[in-house]
Structures are given as C-alpha cells and as structure tokens.
Amino acid sequence: MVIIFVRSTFFALLAVLLYSTVYSGITPVQAEGLRPMGTFFVRDLKPAAEEQHIQIGVHAEGSPMRALAKQAIANAKSDYPQIAEVVDLLREVDPEPLQTLDATAIQKVLLALPGITPEQEAIIKSKVNSGTRDQVLAVLDVLQDKEDAIVFGIRPFALLNFPGVRAMIEVPVAGFFLEGETVFALGNANLELSFAHTLSSDSSVNLGIGYGLHLYAPTGTERSNSLAIQNLMEAPAYLHEYLTPAVFLNFGVQMPILSLVAHGEITPMFAIRGAPRRDLMISGSYGIAAVLDLEFLRIQGELAGRLNIKDAEPLQSTYFLAGAAFDMVMMQLEAAFVLPIVSVDAASAGALPSADLGSASDYLFIVRLGFGI
C-alpha cells in the first residue's frame, strides 16, 4: 500500500506540473527562486545559482550488522571440497528451513533460484545428493554463524552550481569493523549532473521540475560490496563489479516554510568486472520528501525505495527517513535516522556479490557536513 501511494503521488504531481507547463502559458526558466533542500534519499531539485554556488563536504552513514567473514566462506569450501561449487548457491537461500529437508528437497530449492544456468543446474544435481547431505547441512550451519560487526560509509563530495547545471562528484569509501579489525575499501566514484526549471512565476509558491543523470564508475574494491546490503538505495556506490549510468526526473513545490519533492529514476547496473551472478540488474528508485524550513533549522521526512525491473530482486527495498539540518552561515550539519520498511533478506543478500555475507540491520544513521556558499 505504501509503494502504491508513493507511485500514485509521483504520477499525480507529474501530471499537475505538465498541465501547468502546457496549458497555463507559463514559460519554464532555469531554477529561478529554487532553494537547496538537502534531502538524503530523494533527489532534490537543483537550486538557483544565487542560492548555492559551491559546497564541499562529507556524507557518512553507519549501522551495526551480523556478518559472516569472507574467510569463513573460503574455509567452508576447503573443508567440504565435494560441494565447494554449491556453497555460493547456498548463500542465496534461507538456511534454517533447509535443515529438515532431504537431499532431493534441497535440490529443488536450489534449482528454483532465479537465473540458474544449465551448468549450475548440472552441478546442483550432481553435487547435492544423499551422500553429501550432511556436508550441505554443515555448510548451512557455517552460513548462520555470523558475528557482530559495524559497517560505515564515508563519501567526500564537491558540488558546483552553475546557472544551467549543477555538477557533483563524490568518492565513497566503505569501512568495516569485524573480528576486532577495522578495514577500509574504496567504493565507486560518482559524477552527477542535474538541471531544473521553475514553472511558476508566483514567488510564494514555486513549482519546479528537474531531471539529470549520474554515473557510478566501477572503481571500488571487493570489500565495499558489503555496505550495499545495509543501504540498498546506495547500492550502485558500493557494488564494485557494476558500471551504473542512470537518469532521473524530479519535481516539487516550494513554499515559504514547507517544501515537497518527489523523484523517479531508472537505474541499470552493468557487470563489467568479476563474475557476479547477474550480468545486468535494472531497478527503479522512487521517493517523496517533505521539508519544513524554519530559518536555521530544517526538519524532514522521506519515504524512498527500489523496485525490481529486471533481475534486481535483491535490491527491492523501502525506507523511511527522519532528519534535521542546521544551517550556520557557511556550514550545514545534517543528521538522519533510517528505518527499513522492506529490506534485503538473507537469501537476497546472498544473491549480491559480497565480500562479507551480512544481514541487514534494523536501522541506519546518516550524518552530512558541508561547507560552502
């Protein structure tokens, strides 16, 4: 119901804006009067050049999780060489129900996984049988033996806002604290270009429509993949196998105190490194945000998620975010608390190429600090 409401709102607002443009005689102008909104998951409208010129800063997010280290998976393959070829497939199923099944039933569960190739089908049929059932169960025990961990992402960014276009670059870094060790890994560099036009000449109620594109280049390392499980809205920033070009449309209305904005995006992810199970994943992201602007304080709520379009079942998710921002002359400090409404399960997490097999946490913290004029 929540997803249906968000999608209906998106298309309703789009229809209103298109009607205003075509039938009201309003001539769109470049972002006139639009001010920065500082949303997190929802793509905000490019502000007017006089409202924002340049900004540099850092976006940080983190959460606790239960994770299985990559070494544990490697050990399982070496300890049980007869079924080493099916260990990665076992990551894609919920291990608990399989504990009571016989070998034939386990076979059926694995064969029902999406995207199974004829070669993988032959491996499942030859490797999973009554003689290896105990080994399969032992591996399933390993896959459930997860440890407490903390994952966090740090994303330095720089933003330039010209009259016709806003350009942003960022270089994500993923961090992990697991088994008493802290490790950092590079994520996928991102370039984003966004454009906006105002559709209203009324200074008190400003209607805007925007569009843009972004490109995540596969500059990341394998360890960065684990952070994608914690925040699927930002999966393209951390899945290092994928090149991700995407286009988006956003629109909104700004009033003196209250602003509303919504966006829709098509996100194709092309595997060009490694050997992930899915060569192409296409998802659609959506979101709607309300921002209450009280001079030096902004309070906001967002509802956003991803939908499967093609082979992107592991990315399906819905999040609710509540946040606040403090504007202090040349500095902006923003913080948010995120609750997953629909998030990745163990089977879907296993379908993503991941350095550490993790379980999504129950919450996520985000902090963003920016300096600019």
| Candidate from 114-123, 130-139, 284-293, 307-316 with smallest mean pLDDT | 114-123
The pLDDT value given to residue 209: 92
What proportion of the chain, given as a percentage, has pLDDT over 70? Answer: 84
Rounded Cα–Cα distance for residues 328 and 333 (Å) = 8
User: Where do the structural domains in the chain lie, given as residue ranges?
Assistant: 2-66+147-372, 70-144
Degrees (nearest 5) of the Cα angle 150, 336, 191? 85
Least confident of 51-65, 87-101, 272-286: 87-101
pLDDT of residue 113 exceeding 50: yes
* pTM strictly above 0.75: yes
pLDDT tens figures, 138-190: 887 777 777 777 889 999 999 999 988 999 999 999 988 876 778 888 999 99
Neighbours of 115 (CB within 10 A): 12
Residues 6 or more apart whose Cβ sits within 8 Å of residue 19: none
Distances (CA, A) of 84 to 23, 74, 113, 252, 369: 64, 9, 18, 52, 46
* Averaged confidence pLDDT in the chain: 83
Assign a CATH topology to domain 2-66+147-372.
Answer: Porin (2.40.160)
Which whole number is the average pLDDT over 23-33? 57
Which pLDDT belongs to residue 26? 44
Which residues on adjacent β-strands are paired with residue 58? 156, 369
Give the angle 341-214-259 at the CA atoms, nearest 5°.
55
Region 11-32: mean pLDDT is 52
Q: What is the pLDDT of residue 353?
A: 61
Cα gap 37→44, rounded to integer Å: 6
Pull the structure tokens for residue 365. Answer: 């913290």
- The per-residue b/e assignment along 34-50, b for 16 or more CB within 10 angstroms, e otherwise, is bbbbbbbbbbbbbbbbe
pLDDT tens readout for residues 186-217: 999 999 999 999 876 566 888 899 999 999 99
Of 90, 71, 344, 58, nearest to 227 by C-alpha is 344
